[in-house]
Structure 1
Amino acid sequence: MTRRHLKLIFSSIIVGLVVGLGTTAFLYLIEFFSDALLSYPTSIWTPLIILMPAIGGLIVGLITYKVAPESEGHGVSEVLESMALHGGRIRARVPLIKMITSAITIGSGGSAGYEGPMVHIGGGTGSTIGRLLKMDEASVKILVVCGAAAGISAIFKAPLGGVFFGLEIVYGGVEAIALIPVVLSSFVSTAVAQGILGAEPLLKLRVFEILNPYEYLLFFVLGLIFGLLSIFWIKIFHYISDRFQKLKAPKYIKPGIGGLMLGFIIFFFPQIIGGGYEVINREIVVPISLVLLLTLGLLKIIGTSLTLGSGGSGGAFAPMLFIGAMFGGAYGLSLQWLLFSNTYGPLTPLLPFLASLMGSWVRYLSPAVAFEPMAYALVGMAALIASAARAPLTGIVLVTEISKGYTMILPLMLACITAYLVSRLIMRGDLYTENLLKKGIDLVEERRADLLDRVRVGDIMSEPMVVSSDMKVFQVLEMICKYHHHGYPVIDNGTLIGVIDSDTIDREMAENHEMRRVGELANKNVVTVFPDETLHQALDKMLENKTDRLVVVDRKNRNIVGIITRTDILEVHEIKLIMKYGSGAIRDKLQKIARIDEEYREEMEI
């Protein structure tokens, strides 16, 4: 394990500790503002409920746009943008400002969750710590992911869910160098949060068990529906956000306008205030009416879009869970009424006909078969994460971990993958990336280009085959004939002094100088690279110097430690693309390789 890896692991533990403490402070801050702004006697609370989100929005607008404009919104998109364009750099003030503005937004009645802010706060913390420790860009990015994962882990007290969130959504894939630091950060932050706040989870979900194997068909249909629902949710969210962007009003006033519009909604439906965790906990146990579930789900879409689209600060992740639970519960209640009702349901007259078509299948649609309508609420939460955030693994793991419902793993997998595929086939962007695409930021392309920045020369260099400066020309010729390498580094007491190539050896042999020492003939103008430089830097040096190989030397003493070729770099890039994006990306990459080869040949001819 290299010194860089050890430093990264140590730093990830620090990030987890700080984010765990920050999560605790954030939750206490929300409680403080909620008590200060929403805890009034009933007689005066009713009219104030309309105004409080507007007042909170105005305060947030002033703080945000005067101090840290990048702290607006739900936080995840901002972290993704910093990863794609700024090397993971997030200003040190952002975590603190995000914590304050999000606490005010949520505490004043905003329809937003805790998780998005904690992703931004955690990511900013990781970025700041990485830069304070003077770490390289790739390491800073990993610490941003560590902070984001630690924030999710601490909020939900679900370290595995946090790990998958960080790797799948923020990092864009699983790589060995990032896995251990992210796991450590998530573990430490969760342990700190549990130690201070207790082990009781934010969401207290029931455990369900599916006894009817034919219900898997119903979960498949749920996945289809939720794939479409996610597109509706994304479209509404960004439509309202675009309307506020085009609104001719000072930016700092817009969150207040959105808050006022939200106030009229929560006057009648206060259930959509905040993340709605209490409502989810209650409805999973004792579901309310079908109509109210649908109403709350739709209003949460509108309320969250108003809160965040106007410039308020908060998360969209908890609203995803709320919307998924409400619509999933409504789907389950609909199935119970249509198919599993103890009374005369609308499909009862059709059962004999269905039985003649499908035989024994219909006997499972009987009141005698146990049916849990709110199991569909649980699966709905995961399915909406999978489709709206394009994170099926996060949805499966997080909901399984929170609910301890390991008996639901198969329905979760089926619904999440189905919802993800439907959403992905219809719409390119997701809840977090759609606004980035409008700015011309394509995360997939950015991450592909970023692959060469994540791998160090020292990770793939090969053992050097060297010649001593006192070797004779004929001895080097024998090596060339035996090993078929066209160039060799020349060393003197372990230190690189130059390179000797086959053309020089052939010329000396033709002139009968086979006994000359190669140290006299070596080309002293050697292009070198250090083990801790990235493959991107190495490839740039090759193109700049019109060579297809570089000698790798130690920074301190210039001793040769390896060799790296252009083919080595391109092969690594191709393999990583296959692992991360599948074979379709390889066609694009091969075209790029062909262009690089053509440029290389042209430069060599000049």
Structure 2
Amino acid sequence: MGSAIASRLGLSRGQCRVLVGSGAAAGTAAAFQAPLTGAFYGFELIIGVYAIPSVAPVMTAALLAVLTVRTLGAEPFPIIVPPIPDLTLADYPPFILLGLIGAGVAIAIMRLVTLVEKGFQLSGVPAPLRPMIGGLGVGALALYSPQIMSSGEGALHIQVGTGVTVSVLLVFLLKICASSLSLGSGFRGGLFLAALFLGSLMGKLFAGAAAFAGLPVDPVVSAVVGMAALAVGIVGGPFTMTFLTLETTGDLAISGLVLTAAIACSLTVRETFGYSFSTWRLHLRGESIRGAHDVGWLRDLTVGRLMEPMRATFSADGTQAAFRAAFPLGQIRHVTLLDAEGRYAGLVRVARVYSAGQDGPIDAFAQHRTAILHPDMNVTEAAGVFRDANAEMLAVVDPDTGQVLGQLHEVEALRRYAHEVEIARRDLSGGD
């Protein structure tokens, strides 16, 4: 809704991001009746930065959403945790370990979804039939427990408040399979609520394993910490999940454990995998998005937009004498050579031809025969070509026909890149 309104009003990229972030904050805050959770969801996962100008609209949207659902009669579902004694440094290592385990589980789940999706693609099953097969599989798994199909808060509260049994392990494994099968077969959606549910199960299993090792870890506390840690690994947003636990439990002490585990999980996933679930899916589609920061401007800043018309061309079959007659020294620096069919054949520096002081084929002075730019390259890709070729100007060539479309100077590409970076920075900071 926020994106549609922004497009209709003709807002700038920065204003559009704030409006979309406000909408996401309102939806999340209403779902959990947690305004701070919703606000930080908008900041961390949509807008990408905590900027003063965006605080007012995002917080207003989150607060109004919570007030609206409460006015309409929706009841909150707090998670009740046992009283936690004063924490010491010795209480943190087990939950740091839980965060590291959560990172491994998060990466495994994201890769499993991709593996299932590739399996469906290789199976030859028509795309319209894949969701039906996935639905049958999820239904079969749910015969063990309806919680396997759950994506809401009901199963989450049930699992947090019950003991650690073998059934918890089975539900955990089957829920992972069901989520992977559902998304891999083509159903739309994400893993936000599923990650919360799976994280609570992971935390309970961790508490059971810790009990065997003689570590006094409370299952309910471990379930809440695991819930947030796994969600951070899959979805992202460590502060979002920390405020979610604070607002749903009302316990400040547990929030410190949650933040510690969330940071450990987030850093591990970032360094070893590099993606959240949403950015991983975009990466598989060929996008370069790795976070909430706006990179759309970079994709739009293509060589085709930056190039200028080719200023001078010459036949690759010509001679140096004819070249010097056509291009007096000091008039132009580079000339593009074209073959008999009008295709790109290299660049010639005019000064080099004059310094040679001899006659012969001009083709001998051709440089950068293979170092060319394509019109659909973005500016960072073009900068890489300039760097590898050690060139100050390159030709823009149609990749299909080999025809020269224009030229681009490295200094112009870098100037425009710096200009767009400054605009993006102002959008993030709310400056003029």
Shorter-normalised TM range: 0.5 to 0.7
Give the Cα separation in 2 of the matches to 1:409 and 1:440.
37
Q: Give the match for residue 523 of structure 1.
A: none
Q: Give the match for residue 371 of structure 2.
A: none
Answer yes or no: is 1:427 the counterpart of 2:303: no
Q: 1:316 aligns with which of 185, 191, 195?
A: 191
Give the Cα separation in 2 of the matches to 1:293 and 1:245.
32
Q: Give the match for residue 257 of structure 1.
A: 133
The more displaced of 297-306 and 257-266 is: 297-306
Answer yes or no: is 1:406 the counterpart of 2:262: no
- Distance change in 2, residues 1:420/1:136 (3 Å): closer
Q: Give the match for residue 359 of structure 1.
A: none
Q: Give the match for residue 178 of structure 2.
A: 303
What letter corresponds to residue 141 of structure 1 in structure 2? Answer: R
Give the Cα separation in 1 of the matches to 2:140 and 2:298.
51
Alignment check: 8 A CA contact 1:294 1:330 kept: yes
Q: Give the match for residue 329 of structure 1.
A: 204
Q: Give the match for residue 79 of structure 2.
A: 204
What are structure 1's unaligned runs of at least 5 residues? 1-124, 341-364, 366-370, 454-545, 547-564, 580-606
How far apart are 1:434 and its partner, in Å?
A: 0.9
- Distance change in 2, residues 1:567/1:248 (3 Å): closer
Give the Cα separation in 2 of the matches to 1:218 and 1:186.
34
How far apart are 1:222 and its partner, in Å?
A: 1.0
Give the Cα separation in 1 of the matches to 2:193 and 2:30.
14
Task: Look up the SS of the partner of 1:287 in the other structure.
Answer: coil
Taking the TM superposition and a 5 Å limit, the aligned residue runs for 1:70-219 are 125-201=1-77, 204-206=79-81, 208-211=83-86, 213=88, 214-219=90-95
What letter corresponds to residue 40 of structure 2 in structure 1? Answer: F
Q: 2:285 aligns with which of 432, 439, 442?
A: 439
Q: Give the match for residue 232 of structure 1.
A: 108
Alignment check: 8 A CA contact 1:237 1:301 kept: no
- Distance change in 2, residues 1:310/1:335 (3 Å): same
How far apart are 1:419 and its partner, in Å?
A: 1.0
Give the Cα separation in 1 of the matches to 2:264 and 2:181.
29
Taking the TM superposition and a 5 Å limit, the aligned residue runs for 1:503-522 are none
Q: 2:221 aligns with which of 371, 375, 380?
A: 375
Alignment check: 8 A CA contact 2:279 2:290 kept: no
Task: Look up the SS of the partner of 2:128 in the other structure.
Answer: coil
- Could you list the per-position Cα deviations for residues 392-442 of structure 1 after superposition, in whole angstroms to 9, with x for gaps in the alignment? 122212222222121112211211111111111110222111121122211
What letter corresponds to residue 380 of structure 1 in structure 2? Answer: G
Alignment check: 8 A CA contact 2:51 2:428 kept: no
How far apart are 1:162 and its partner, in Å?
A: 1.1
Q: Give the match for residue 97 of structure 1.
A: none
Task: Look up the SS of the partner of 2:49 in the other structure.
Answer: coil
Paired positions, count: 315
Identity %, equivalent residues: 26
Alignment check: 8 A CA contact 2:245 2:255 kept: no
The TM-score normalised by the length of structure 1 is: 0.48
What letter corresponds to residue 149 of structure 2 in structure 1? Answer: I
Alignment check: 8 A CA contact 2:33 2:66 kept: yes
Give the Cα separation in 2 of the matches to 1:281 and 1:441.
37
Alignment check: 8 A CA contact 1:392 1:420 kept: yes
What is the Cα-based RMSD across aligned positions, in Å? 3.2
Q: Give the match for residue 473 of structure 1.
A: none
The TM-score normalised by the length of structure 2 is: 0.66
How far apart are 1:287 and its partner, in Å?
A: 1.6
How far apart are 1:566 and its partner, in Å?
A: 9.3
Taking the TM superposition and a 5 Å limit, the aligned residue runs for 1:4-19 are none
What are structure 2's unaligned runs of at least 5 residues? 300-408, 410-414
What letter corresponds to residue 253 of structure 1 in structure 2? Answer: L
Task: Look up the SS of the partner of 1:326 in the other structure.
Answer: helix
Which structure has greater helix proportion?
1
How far apart are 1:262 and its partner, in Å?
A: 0.9
